[in-house]
């Protein structure tokens, strides 16, 4: 099997490779969650407490009017929370009919960053490739144009079904295989893959160092891990995305934190390319040759 290697890539003026000093200091996720909780507590307990305070001494008609004013607000809040919960759930693990819609959207919206990220590696025509968190399977189709055999895994049955439909011809030709599995326990033997790709998924992984080590296990010595995402903690206007990332329960990692995870999992030759304005990040690292 041929091994994946780092290719050349054109970088825009605001794109650079990480330096050790590239990290942004800021509140940790735990501190941010604490602040959000305080705000939520204020909203949840403060508003009704104020209402109850005003309740005393009101006539029956005035109380009736207060309730009439409150009900639409409560309904709006409940519906907003329910909609947010659906979006959060669907991004992390697409499910059922709404999941199919999200997968369709992701296939389209991730195309640009995926094309950019894939330009960072080259593989030989005989390469075996694994796409982790394959979603709707669009990346698998692109990878099939690069190597000999592409495996895709995703822990969402809805994603696996969509990716299988999208690659039916390549599966029939024996060039693609898609399975339901989590990244923490990959259903592959040790050292059997030349390139592992992970597009817009690694920030959901339950235990990053362990999960990167699991990827390391299935990579052949000299094989490459390519992690691509559309946001990172040091990007321009990252503050706007802190709350959405918290709601998604996604890790919002700095460039240095990405580097540290690769390194802790045993990878070498780590390069983090990024576009600060777009928020695009591409981490490339290698399992050392034996």
Nearer to ligand SAM, 53 or 206 (CB): 206
Nearer to ligand SAM, 171 or 248 (CB): 248
Sign of the dihedral defined by the CA atoms of residues 104, 109, 112, 114, in that order: negative
**143 near ligand SAM, judged by CB under 6 A:** no
**164 near ligand SAM, judged by CB under 6 A:** no
Question: In which region does residue 112 sit, left (phi positive, over 0), alpha (psi from -120 to 50) or beta (all else)?
Answer: alpha
Task: Give the residue at shortest CB distance from ligand SAM.
Answer: 135
Q: Contacting ligand SAM (CB under 6 A), which of 121, 127, 130, 135? A: 135
- Label residue 190 exposed, middle or buried (CB < 10 Å: 0-12, 13-18, 19+): exposed
C-alpha–C-alpha distance, residues 258 and 198, integer Å: 13
- Smallest separation, CB 69 to ligand SAM (Å): 39
For the residues of 68-118, what is the DSSP string, one character each? HHHHHHHHHHHHHHHHHHHHHHHHHS--HHHHHHHHHHHHHHTHHHHHHHH
- Smallest separation, CB 232 to ligand SAM (Å): 15
Binding mask 229-268 for ligand SAM (x = CB under 6 A): ----------------------------------------
**107 near ligand SAM, judged by CB under 6 A:** yes
**201 near ligand SAM, judged by CB under 6 A:** yes
Structure tokens at 137: 């399977």
Interface residues with ligand SAM (CB under 6 A) are 91-94, 106-107, 110, 133-136, 139, 154-156, 159, 182-183, 199-201, 204-206
């Amino acid at each position: 099997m041929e091994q994946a290697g780092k290719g050349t890539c054109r970088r825009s003026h605001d794109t650079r490779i990480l330096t050790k000093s590239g990290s942004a200091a800021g509140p940790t996720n735990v501190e941010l969650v604490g602040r959000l909780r305080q705000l939520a507590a204020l909203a949840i307990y403060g508003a009704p407490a104020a209402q109850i305070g005003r309740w005393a001494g009101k006539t029956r008609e005035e109380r009736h009017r207060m309730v009439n004013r409150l009900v639409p607000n409560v309904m709006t809040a409940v519906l907003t929370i329910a909609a947010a919960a659906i979006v959060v759930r669907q991004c992390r693990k697409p499910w059922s009919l709404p999941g199919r819609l999200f997968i369709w959207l992701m296939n389209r919206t991730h195309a640009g960053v995926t094309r950019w990220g894939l330009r960072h590696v080259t593989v030989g025509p005989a390469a075996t490739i694994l796409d982790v968190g394959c979603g709707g399977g669009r990346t698998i189709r692109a990878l099939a144009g690069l190597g000999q055999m592409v495996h895709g895994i995703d822990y969402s049955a809805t994603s696996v079904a969509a990716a299988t439909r999208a690659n039916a011809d390549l599966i029939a030709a024996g060039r693609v295989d898609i399975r339901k599995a989590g990244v923490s326990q990959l259903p592959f033997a040790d050292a059997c893959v030349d390139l592992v790709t992970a597009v817009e998924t690694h920030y959901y992984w339950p235990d990053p160092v362990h999960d990167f080590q699991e990827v390391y296990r299935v990579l052949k010595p000299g094989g490459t891990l390519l992690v691509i995402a559309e946001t990172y903690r040091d990007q321009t206007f990252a503050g706007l995305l802190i709350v959405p990332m918290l709601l998604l329960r996604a890790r919002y990692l700095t460039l240095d934190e990405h580097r540290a995870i690769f390194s802790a999992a045993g990878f070498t030759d780590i390069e983090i390319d990024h576009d600060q304005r777009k928020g695009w990040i591409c981490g490339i690292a290698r399992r050392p040759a034996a």
